Chain A
């Protein structure tokens, strides 16, 4: 069987097109065009780990064996709330939460283990946005007000958000909060270095993107007295997060949904 010159040229053309598209997609990861392109070249978004090709994929490791939040420690939560002007609306239906504590059985709702290690049965787990690698919130947002940075952080543009709350319906982790009312009267001391929000928009934890850009660690990581939280580049084999994941057993919240959550809990 021989391949005609014409077919060969065609094949070469298609391959070149595919390679270019893929290169473009990697360079412009996160943009709509890139997504359309990466879909066109057949990147199975929910099936493969698309971050593998990227240089930086930020991730968080939370060592629950070290975390003392069940003993009343709220240092990570306090540091976050203060710096991000998060209103104190108590535990009301209007509450805004970026990082907070949930009992183990609620945080890992799909892992039914009846006879667990004693210290884990009543364990409190710090929960916050997983900054998923395949974020369903980004997929559903009708205005791209929520979008993914090339390093993986899922961002929120509070000025573009129309407040439809489709992202809240899509998030499997309850990580998103909506400003059901004007939050400003409920902020104790407004930090002028960080914006406050208005009513009618969605917000969430962004792993302190404003600090990450300055080469600083997220506040919760810095505030933890037990050094239970570690933040770093998952795609760097020498990073601390990778070392921890190599040497310890870790779990993630609802990994079976294909969202690829990027918070790893050591148990």
Chain B
């Protein structure tokens, strides 16, 4: 199966080489971080989690979003998703790998990572998050391997795989719920201490993830002779629309509770994020960009005519993805630490090495997506 990844056009190899170079740059800066310590990043004693954990949080959502194609196809027998289910699952695998790498590069003592399994601690959500992610990775590796092998041999997949696929559905929900619990259970961080965090995570995941999948499908149609099918694209667009509406609704809920209740400690974080606090407003332009992108995307998605037009649909998907990337992959994690427990506004911004390490991990993710999709499409071509 993997042999298909080693045969490809010149364009395929050039693309992999390009990604390889970014990965190498990231690896070089990781080695520097490894020798110097995490002080090489912009993180501090006040903002002790930064870009790495924020990216992790965002990408867990992308991983979980595979469920949006798996569920209709396997549970409701929605045939139109038959062709793209495997793409969703491979996207999930690549995303989980990225998630694990983002947690790994965030560790001060990476060689001790196995302590999480050597001293399993059930009252720590970090333990459960690692368990959930590892399990999700294993499930999806088994599912893709078995279903793809069946497809290659032109036989229906074995019966025993179905319960495993069904199990992957609640499991996908669990990985993002547990990730939200990582934040939402801390009494000392009022910005995260909200029951709506897990639902919000799921809603943003189910819009940003399928938006990425839709963009990938359209890209594949352009670059290869793979066609996801018009009905599948249409349905994905609809899923993104609903999820994005719920996501924006939940963000507005946060605004209401925070600002109508006037509790100073709660409001200070939102104040910093959207309006600036003590004259410091580094994230403000980002957050309003995110808000504007959300409005633009909804304007396109809510009108059936623009939603079914591929040109405008692409704009909407890019807008959804970027809007949520800013909101979740930047604002949400960092702002939990600002202001500090002493009420001081000490800002954070990633350094260049930190950014390049993050970019390197993204490149690894894209690298995996590329070879996985190459494998899946080559096998399909062979069968046809």
Which A residues are within 8 Å of any B CB, using their own CB? Answer: 32, 35-36, 93-97, 102, 105-107, 109-110, 112, 136, 139-145, 160-166, 168-174, 177-182, 199-202, 254, 257-259
**Mask: chain B, 192-229; 1 = CB below 8 Å from A; 0 = not:** 00000000000000000000000000000000000000
Residues 106 to 137 of chain B near chain A (Cβ within 8 Å): 106-110, 112-113, 115-116, 118-119, 121-127, 130
Report B-chain residues with C-beta under 8 Å of the C-beta of A143: 112, 115-116, 118-119, 121
Bound CA span A199–B124, Å:
23
Bound CA span A140–B129, Å:
12
**Closest chain A residue, CB of each to CB of B183:** A169
Number of A-B contacts (CB under 8 A): 150
Report B-chain residues with C-beta under 8 Å of the C-beta of A36: 122
**Closest chain A residue, CB of each to CB of B263:** A110
Report A-chain residues with C-beta under 8 Å of the C-beta of B43: 93, 180
Q: Does B45 contact A (CB under 8 A)?
A: yes
**Closest chain B residue, CB of each to CB of A97:** B45
Q: List 24 A-B contacts (CB under 8 A).
A: A95-B45, A102-B342, A107-B342, A112-B264, A136-B187, A139-B123, A142-B121, A142-B130, A143-B121, A160-B112, A162-B110, A163-B109, A164-B103, A165-B48, A165-B49, A165-B108, A168-B48, A169-B48, A169-B49, A170-B188, A172-B187, A180-B44, A182-B37, A259-B188
Q: Chain A nearest CB: distance from B148 CB in Å?
A: 35
**Mask: chain B, 343-384; 1 = CB below 8 Å from A; 0 = not:** 110100000000000000000000000000000000000000
Contact A257 B107, CB 8 Å, known A142-B126, A174-B341, A178-B38: no
Query: B108 to A200, Cβ gap below 8 A?
Result: yes
Q: Chain B nearest CB: distance from A122 CB in Å?
A: 16
Q: Does B46 contact A (CB under 8 A)?
A: yes
Bound CA span A199–B336, Å:
25
Bound CA span A254–B187, Å:
10
Q: Does B186 contact A (CB under 8 A)?
A: yes
Bound CA span A173–B188, Å:
8
Partner of A172, one of B103, B122, B341: B341
Query: B119 to A169, Cβ gap below 8 A?
Result: no
Q: Chain A nearest CB: distance from B210 CB in Å?
A: 30
Q: Chain B nearest CB: distance from A37 CB in Å?
A: 13
Which B residues are within 8 Å of any A CB, using their own CB? Answer: 36-39, 42-46, 48-49, 103, 106-110, 112-113, 115-116, 118-119, 121-127, 130, 182-183, 186-189, 264-265, 336-337, 340-344, 346
Query: B39 to A141, Cβ gap below 8 A?
Result: no
Question: Given A93-B346, A178-B38, 10 more contacts at CB 8 Å?
Answer: A94-B39, A136-B188, A143-B112, A143-B115, A162-B107, A170-B186, A172-B341, A177-B45, A182-B37, A200-B37
Report B-chain residues with C-beta under 8 Å of the C-beta of A177: 45
Report A-chain residues with C-beta under 8 Å of the C-beta of B337: 169
Q: Chain B nearest CB: distance from A143 CB in Å?
A: 4
Report B-chain residues with C-beta under 8 Å of the C-beta of A136: 186-188
Closest 10 CB pairs of A and B: A163-B108, A172-B188, A200-B108, A93-B44, A180-B39, A142-B126, A199-B37, A181-B39, A109-B343, A181-B37
